């Protein structure tokens, strides 16, 4: 697991009701990232945790600033830590 990292991110803006979670899941699958994404209760943010190779997480973080068509990303807060290895796929979850 030492070559894998964890990305924890919160994306703010017009990111709910525009397919953002599905878009993130598709991108994560394409990049070989496992973890989860969910809408946050206040309706202006999406949270996610992803584990994968550092270059794949770099790409996902870059993509989060763009989002799917119809989204408007105002802010991305992201941090990195060691991967736990506890995820087997990337899924959409609920708060």
Average pLDDT, the chain: 96
Q: Respond yes or no: is residue 4 known to be catalytic.
A: no
Instruction: Supply φ then ψ for residue 36, to 5 degrees.
Output: -155, 160
Identified catalytic residue from 6, 21, 25, 27? 21
Residue 2: pLDDT band with limits 50, 70, 90:
low
Which of helix, strand or coil describes residue 11? strand
Q: Respond yes or no: is residue 55 known to be catalytic.
A: no
The residue among 66, 59, 55, 61 whose CA lies nearest residue 78 is 61
Structural fold of domain 5-92: Alpha-Beta Plaits (3.30.70)
Query: How far is it, in rounded angstroms, from Cα 43 to Cα 10?
Result: 12
Domain layout of the chain by residue ranges: 5-92
Identified catalytic residue from 39, 80, 89, 94? 39
pTM summary value = 0.94
Query: How far is it, in rounded angstroms, from Cα 4 to Cα 2?
Result: 5
Q: What is the pLDDT of residues 13-56, one digit of tens each?
A: 999 999 999 999 999 999 999 999 999 998 899 999 999 999 99
């Amino acid at each position: 697991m030492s070559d894998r990292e964890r990305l924890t991110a919160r994306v703010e803006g017009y990111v709910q009701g525009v397919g953002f979670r599905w878009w993130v899941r598709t991108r994560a699958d394409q990049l070989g990232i496992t973890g989860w994404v969910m809408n946050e209760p206040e309706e202006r943010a999406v949270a996610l945790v992803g584990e994968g190779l550092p270059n794949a997480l770099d790409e996902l973080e870059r993509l989060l600033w763009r989002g799917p068509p119809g989204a408007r990303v105002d802010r991305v807060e992201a941090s990195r830590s060691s991967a736990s290895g506890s995820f087997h796929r990337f899924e959409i979850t609920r708060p």
